[in-house]
Structure formats: C-alpha cells, structure tokens
Amino acid sequence: MKVVVMAGGSGTRLWPLSRAMYPKQFLSLAADKTMLQATLDRCTGLTSSTPVVICNEDHRFIVAEQLRTDKITANIILEPMGKNTAPAIALAALYAMKAEQDPVLLVLAADHVIQQKNVFQQQVKKAALLAEKGYLVTFGIVADKPETGYGYIQRGENIEGHEGYRVKGFVEKPNQAKATEYLQSGEYYWNSGMFMFRASSYINELKKYRPDILAACELAMGNTQKDMDFVRVDKAEFQQCASESIDYAVMEKTSNSVVVPLDAGWSDFRSGSSLWEVSQKDENHNTTKGDVLLHDTHNSFVLSTSKLVATVGLNNIVVVETKDAVLVADKDKVQEVKKIVDQLKSAERPEYQLHREVYRPWGNYDSIDNGTRYQVKRITVKPGAKLSVQMHHHRAEHWIVVSGTAKVLNGNEEKLLTENESIYIPVGAVHYLENPGKIPLELIEVQSGSYLGEDDIVRFEDMYGRS
C-alpha cells in the first residue's frame, strides 16, 4: 500500500486563517500538528512504503519544511498548475507504478480531520481487500445530520464477504428537504473525496473514460526532473491537460466503483462553523482560541492569533482575528466568506494571497510596519540557511541583528554581525544574508526607496533553485 496525499487547494472559506499562499492544510487547527502532518500521521502503521505528496509549485517549501519538522520522508510531486484531482492522482499513479510496479494507493486530502484514527485504519484495511480485487473504492462518510454543503454517494448492493457496497449513484449537493430524505433513508453517505485502488485499476479506467487526461499526464511524467526533495513534471505538457475531478472523470462512469462506510469523526473544516462543531465548548456553547474574553455570548466561535478579542451580546457568531484582518460572520452564513475572498482577489489586495507573516525556505518574515517609501520587517533565518545572492534597483536596506549571528556580503565586503550590530545595504549593492550559527538569527530590516515590491529582486545565486 502507498499513501498519496493531495495537498493542493486554497481553502478560501477559512479566510482569514487560510490564504492562497498558506492554505488550511498547512495550519494547526484541530491539534498541535498541521493538517498535512496529521494526515500522514494517521497512516502510521498501515504501510512501510514512502508516501507521495502532491502540491503546487508555490507551496513546495512549506510542504518540505513541515515534513522535515515532523521527521517524515516523502516523495513530493510538484504540479506546475492546478488541474483538479483526476490529473493529480494520475501523476501519482504513474509515479507509483514506475517505482513499485502496481501498488494499492490510498488517496487522501491533506485538509481533513479524522478524530478516530483506529476506526479509520480498520476501514482502510477493509477497503484494501476490495482494491486488491480491482475495485475503485471511495469512502462514504456516515451522515449524522442533513448536510447541504456536501455531495452524496448512494449505495447499492453489498459486495458479498466485504464491508462495501456497489455505488448506485453520485448526487450533487442537495437542498435541505432532500438532505433530510437522504439521512432518513440510510442509503446515502457524504462524499469524502478519499479513495483506494490499485494504481493500474485507476489508470485503466482513466484510459477508458478520459484518455486525453491520461495521455497528457504520461507525457508530463515522461520528462521529470529531480530537484532536491521534489519531482518536477514537464510544465508544457501538463499545461495541456484538462482540468477535471476524479468523480467526473472516472468514479461516476466506471462500473467498478464501490463505497466503504466511514464513521470516524470526519470533518473537512470548510469554515469557522466546522471548527466550532469539532471543538470543546463552554457552558454557553462557545469555543474560544487565543486571548479572548466573552460576556453574554452564546453558540459562537472566537479565535484570536495576536491580540485581545472581546465580545458582548453575541449569538451564533464566528469571529476570527489575524495580524492583518478580522472576520465577523453569522455562523450559518460562513460559507459566503468566499464572496469576501473574491472581492480581495479582484482588488488585488495582499490579504488574499499572504498572511502578514510570510514563510520562505530559509525562514520567515513578519511585515511589522509600512508607509510611503519605507517598510519594516522582522526576519528569522534558520540555522545554516542563506538568502539568495541578490541586488535591488529601487531600495536600500538597513539590518539590525536582534539575536544570533549574521554573515553578510555587502558589495565586495563580507563580515559577521552579532546582537545589536547593524549594516546598511545601499541601492544596487550585491548582497546576501546567512545564518552560520546554531540558533535562529533574528533581525529587523528597514527598507527605504521609491519601489518596495518583492519583485525588485535580481538573484545571482540561490541554494533553493529560485530564479
């Protein structure tokens, strides 16, 4: 068995916690581990095979760092652009068949929560017996309420000798009346987006129903490049691939689909209300995280990441505070947060793309302040890490070391800086910043100039392969 984790997606309904460049699968929402880390952790003991993680180019260093932090070894396949789940899984299947002949693939999303690990593993083992026989298995979540936000799977006849059923049909998101009818019938499950099948079984069905997708993925995988921990597929070939979900491309068409029920405390954390549902509540049915004070507040979810948040006289409300944004929403309408994200995207505001705190392969920075012709950042550089050799056409930089040791190139001069020492980097000077020490390097950077955009960087050398 080989675990395949799809770590793409933007998680826009969880804004402002989730951003395009740091979506929900990389956040710690329900536990100490991030959702990606937790997904791989719940598969511990199922297989000794190295897992595959599929993510997009922009998130590659976040994925690599989270795997490194959790001491996880994985093959990371980079999608040059998002093409939905059918092509992503095809890349993983082709890669797996090349490495291990024809393994059974357990395909999981990186942004799900499953509270009962043992139950999950039990059902996976039952599903594996069906996958080994050539069936394409999907996991159906046992519904506990009439949910209108999910698609449904209708089960048909039982597969003799197995805890699985032939799929009678896939149903789009229903209205409230239909969802209630589905729940009462006992024949419908929520569509989880988790699958299990032999790599060849999926490839054969894809060849039958969407040969164009398979052909594009084969061409993309035919010219891969190994780059550190990453497997890069051919961008030009993959760009020609159609964008399609596995449900539409294969699962709704094949006669070999079966559903295995899963009742293990599943949630896909689509919104702030999902966080409220799975979290421990106080006597007024509130959930709080961070520095929060409540008065006369009921049935609400309040989360603070950086400052005190106080509420008075609220009911059924979601409040989420981050360093650069605050969301206040009716708990029953949090799905509409996507409309706010659409407005941010249309206006090209940075709050759509990034948190105030931005992660890079060498560490991270926090944009503390900015104004006309200046901005201030707090920069943290990991031990042994180095920023690229670079220069700027429009800005000068002033670095003040707060803690740790910095090795700096400034023009033709190289020097070491320690706590409370500083250096000025003029416009046009070739420079780099490195942490040669054993502890994180923290410094304050003051930028000044006529243009301060991140695209004013000319890189001459970069240990992370960035251009």
Token output for 226: 């190994």
Q: What is the 3 state secondary structure string of the chain?
A: CEEEEECCCCCHHHCCCCECCECHHHCCCCCCCCHHHHHHHCCCCCCCCCCEEEEEHHHHHHHHHHHHHCCCCCEEEEECCCCCHHHHHHHHHHHHHHHHCCCEEEEEECCCEECCHHHHHHHHHHHHHHHHCCCEEEEEEECCCCCCCCCEEEEEEECCCCCCEEEEEEECCCCHHHHHHHHHHCCEEEEEEEEEEEHHHHHHHHHHHCHHHHHHHHHHHCCCEEECCEEECCHHHHHCCCCCCHHHHHHCCCCCEEEEEECCCEECCCCHHHHHHHCCCCCCCCEEECCEEEECCECCEEEECCCCEEEECCECEEEEECCCCEEEEEHHHHHHHHHHHHHHHHCCCHHHHCCCEEEECCEEEEEEEEECCEEEEEEEECCCCECCEEECCCEEEEEEEEECCEEEEECCEEEEECCCCEEEECCCCCEEEECCCCCCEEEEEEEEECCCCCCCCEEEECCCCCC
Tokens 């709080």 found at: 288
Asked whether residue 359 carries a pLDDT value surpassing 90, the answer given is no
Asked whether residue 466 carries a pLDDT value surpassing 70, the answer given is no
* pLDDT at residue 417 in the model: 96
Token output for 250: 């294969």
Average pLDDT over residues 191-207: 96
**Residue with the larger pLDDT of the pair 41 and 225:** 41
Residue-range domain boundaries for the chain:
2-267, 272-337, 362-461
Closest CA to 324 of 11, 5, 15, 13: 15
β-strands 257-262, 136-142 pairing: parallel
Which tens digit of pLDDT belongs to each residue from 83-139?
Answer: 999 999 999 999 999 878 899 999 999 999 899 999 999 999 999 999 999 999 999
β-strands 75-79, 52-56 pairing: parallel
> Percent of the chain having pLDDT more than 90?
71
* pLDDT at residue 437 in the model: 95
Closest CA to 368 of 443, 454, 450: 443
- How far apart CA 378 and CA 366 sit, in angstroms, is 5
Which tens digit of pLDDT belongs to each residue from 281-322?
Answer: 999 999 999 999 999 999 999 999 999 999 999 999 999 999
Report CA 83 to chain centroid distance, whole Å.
Answer: 15
Which tens digit of pLDDT belongs to each residue from 392-447?
Answer: 999 999 999 999 999 999 999 999 999 999 999 999 999 999 999 999 999 999 99
Domain 2-267 has CATH 3.50.50.60: no
Asked whether residue 47 carries a pLDDT value surpassing 90, the answer given is no
**What's the pTM value of the predicted model, to 2 decimals?**
0.86
- How far apart CA 408 and CA 414 sit, in angstroms, is 6
The fold adopted by the segment(s) 362-461 is: Jelly Rolls (2.60.120)
Query: How does the average pLDDT of the chain come out, rounded?
Result: 92
- How far apart CA 266 and CA 80 sit, in angstroms, is 30
* pLDDT at residue 340 in the model: 94
**Residue with the larger pLDDT of the pair 385 and 277:** 385
